[in-house]
Amino acid sequence: MVEFRQGNRPAAVSRRGLLIGAAAVGAAFPLTGLAPRLAVANAPTVTKTLKLAWNTGAVCGAPVAVAQHKGFFAKHGLNVEFVNFAGTTESLLEAIASGKADVGHGMALRWLKPLEQGFDVKIAAGVHGGCMRLLAAKSGGITDLKGLKGKTIAVADLSSPAKHFFSILFSKQGIDPNKDVDWRVFPGDLLAVAVEKGEAQAVAHWDPVTYAFLKSGNLVEIATNLTGEYVNRTCCVIGVRGSLLREDKAAAAALVKAVFEAQDYTVHHPEEAAKAYQQYSPKTSIEDLVAQLRSQTHHHHPVSANLKKELASYADELKGIQVFKPNFDTAKFADKIYADVVA
Burial class (CB in 10 A: 0-12, 13-18, 19+), 107: buried
Query: Is it the case that residue 92 has pLDDT exceeding 50?
Result: yes
Query: Is it the case that residue 110 has pLDDT exceeding 70?
Result: yes
What does the pLDDT read at residue 86? Answer: 72
Percentage of residues in the chain having pLDDT higher than 70:
87
Query: Is it the case that residue 271 has pLDDT exceeding 50?
Result: yes
Average pLDDT over residues 252-279: 98
Query: Is it the case that residue 6 has pLDDT exceeding 70?
Result: no
Percentage of residues in the chain having pLDDT higher than 90:
82
Query: Is it the case that residue 70 has pLDDT exceeding 80?
Result: yes
AA letter at 133: R
Listing from the earlier edge strand, what are the strands of the sheet with 121-128? 3-6, 78-86, 48-54, 103-107, 236-241, 121-128
| Closest C-alpha among 307, 222, 242 to residue 97 | 242
What does the pLDDT read at residue 28? Answer: 36
Mean of pLDDT over the chain: 88
What does the pLDDT read at residue 44? Answer: 56
| Closest C-alpha among 278, 298, 276 to residue 105 | 298
Confidence class for position 343, pLDDT limits 50, 70, 90: confident
What does the pLDDT read at residue 35? Answer: 35
